[in-house]
Structure 1
Amino acid sequence: MAQVTRATRALETAGVAFTVHAYAYDPAADSIGLAAAEALGVDPARVFKTLMVLADGKPACVLAPSDGEVALKRVAAALAAKAAAMMKPADAERISGYKVGGISPFGQTRRIPAVIDASAFDWDAIFLNGGQRGLQVHLSPGEAERVLGATRAAVSTRD
């Protein structure tokens, strides 16, 4: 597995300190984020999924803990939109430039608005997809927020 991706190159270019962690990707997993957390032996609340959404019809990405659900009304509010909806997988792949299961918020084909769930800041470092299936990057949530120009908001709920 290549550990240099568009995502890792984007982080290096931005001067971000991060580490790369590979794991055995299971395409049959019910939750890619939860499977990654289990494979890496870390709390699922530290592994953030990258979700592609449409806010008032415009693309954006949402970073949320893998053990939570995203409240789309909260996402819309964070993006100053009237409504938000999940993007279709084919559209997510086309817009991000990554395959589903390997979508990273870093190094996407074009810069789009991003929202990072406020719970990320409960941790000194979080895991995010590194740009391919089975690859995570471990970095400070503040650095992720800075590099993405992300909006920090409480968009996730837990059972």
Structure 2
Amino acid sequence: MPAIEVVLGDITAEDVDAIVTAANESLLGCGGVDGAIHRAAGPRLARAGGALAPCDAGDAVATPAFDLDPPVRHVIHTVGPVWEGGGHGEADTLASCYRRSLAVADEVGARSVAFPAIATGVYGFPPEQAATIAISTISATPTQVERVRLVAFDEATYQLLTTAAQG
């Protein structure tokens, strides 16, 4: 099980091998965290992602990190579920995002990975439930990743992730 750290900050400035982005199926970039990562990585990220699209909800793929500062070498794109009330497999799909991202991290040899709070923005997943799913899934997923940083973009998300991590 990787060491899990919760931090408040800018995911594009993390000192990790790979950054996970909460993408849409086109992998071309959009708003929120995905937009910030695309801006930091430069236009080649959208071209590389678009060449791998579409990506289904719950799946993940990797591209180079392009203009992101080393040691970041990879961007792992995962597509979260759109919240439809919770009765449409959203929790399972969100858990799959974390499992598949860790599997892709293993495929590219990443030993440290930064995750945002997947699907809690415009996709509407309830943040408290998402935090619990993130922690429990990462903790239960076999991986060669040694360190996971959950990067909260605001204080409320930081508090939810910290509470979930404390169990």
TM over 0.5: no
Would you tell me which structure has more helix in proportion to its own residues? 2
Would you tell me which structure has more strand in proportion to its own residues? 1
The higher-RCO structure (CA 8 Å, 6+ apart) is 2
Normalised to the residue count of structure 1, the TM-score between the two structures is 0.29
